[in-house]
Amino acid sequence: MEEVKEFHPSRSKYLVFTSDYLLPLFICLGVLVLGYFVLYSPFFSITSIKCSLDFKECTDPNVIAELDKLKGQNIFKLNSSTVTTRLTSGDFTIQTATLHKILPVTIKLELVSVSPVVALKVKDVSVWAVMDSRFRVISVRDTDPNVPSIIVPGPLTVVVGQPPENELIIKTLTLAQKLVDESFTVKTITLVSEDMVELILPSGKRALFTPKKDELTQLRLLQVVLSDDTITKGGSTIDVRFDRPVLR
């Protein structure tokens, strides 16, 4: 009887590719090539930067110089939050910054400036030091900024980017901001002395506050008095510096 021999396949001396190997290999190579093209190809290097501040073209040379540093960088590798944070922290007049990537080589930056909240004005001088919500001086203007303005006795020294150093002025600014928050309308606010701030109301009546007491407590007291016409009838001045209002 003939003996049956077992078959033992031998390893081929040649590299053989089959579809089971080729497809994953092509996918891996494609991913590597695409990744290199996206992250390192000059095709995605930033060459165009569009910048607007309050919907107008940016003109600040410092902002433009900072943005020019981004040219040549890969648009995918650019960290948007790092750029916007650097701009808002480097320029106190910029409140928000939003960056949009427009493939393949353009970025668009939209900046919104800090809104003026209050202003300081020296009596009989038509110059306003405009301030933001943190009482930092945004700019100095010779036109009315259309925000609550505090009239102070001169001389007045302010530094752009910094709040006033005078604590009395800071307290008066706080009062002005509280009036804005409460939607309370006044014609003028005048820092008369360290004990008195004079408000001229739209009706022409005077209201006297003191910087040494809580502004909101005094404002609430004034609102109570003004809510009753019979109380203020015949009087031109409402003094709320005390526990009980004084009318005269």
What CATH number did the domain enclosing 242 receive?
3.40.50
Domain range enclosing 191: 118-247
The answer on 96 and 74 residing in a single domain is: yes
For residue 137, the model assigns a pLDDT of: 92
The answer on 131 and 243 residing in a single domain is: yes
Domain CATH code at residue 84? 3.10.20.310
What is the number of structural domains in the chain?
Answer: 2
For residue 62, being part of any structural domain is answered with yes
| Pair 119, 145: CB distance under 8 Å | yes
- The per-residue DSSP string of the chain comes to -PPPPPP-PPPPSS----HHHHHHHHHHHHHHHHHHHHHH-GGGB--EEEEEETTEE---HHHHHHHHTTTTSBTTT--HHHHHHHHHHH-TTEEEEEEEEETTTEEEEEEEEPPP-EEEEETT---EEEE-TT--EEEEESS--SS-EEEE-S-----BTS--S-HHHHHHHHHHHHHHHTT---SEEEEEETTEEEEE-TTS-EEEE-TTS-HHHHHHHHHHHHT-HHHHTT-SEEE-SSSS-EE-
For residue 5, being part of any structural domain is answered with no
For residue 38, being part of any structural domain is answered with no
Among 79, 113, 147, where does a domain finish? 113
For residue 16, the model assigns a pLDDT of: 56
For residue 215, the model assigns a pLDDT of: 92
For every one of its 248 residues, what pLDDT tens digit does the chain have, with 9 covering 90 and above?
555 555 455 555 555 556 666 677 778 888 888 777 788 888 999 999 999 998 899 999 999 999 999 999 999 999 999 999 999 888 888 989 999 999 999 999 999 989 898 999 998 898 999 999 889 999 899 998 888 899 998 788 888 889 998 999 999 999 998 998 898 999 899 999 999 999 999 989 999 999 999 999 999 999 999 988 887 787 899 999 998 899 98
The answer on 105 and 145 residing in a single domain is: no
For residue 17, being part of any structural domain is answered with no
The answer on 222 and 131 residing in a single domain is: yes
For residue 163, the model assigns a pLDDT of: 92
The answer on 77 and 97 residing in a single domain is: yes
For residue 49, being part of any structural domain is answered with yes
Residue 5 tokens read as: 């021999």
For residue 22, being part of any structural domain is answered with no
The answer on 106 and 47 residing in a single domain is: yes
Query: Phi and psi dihedrals of 194, rounded to 5?
Result: -70, -10
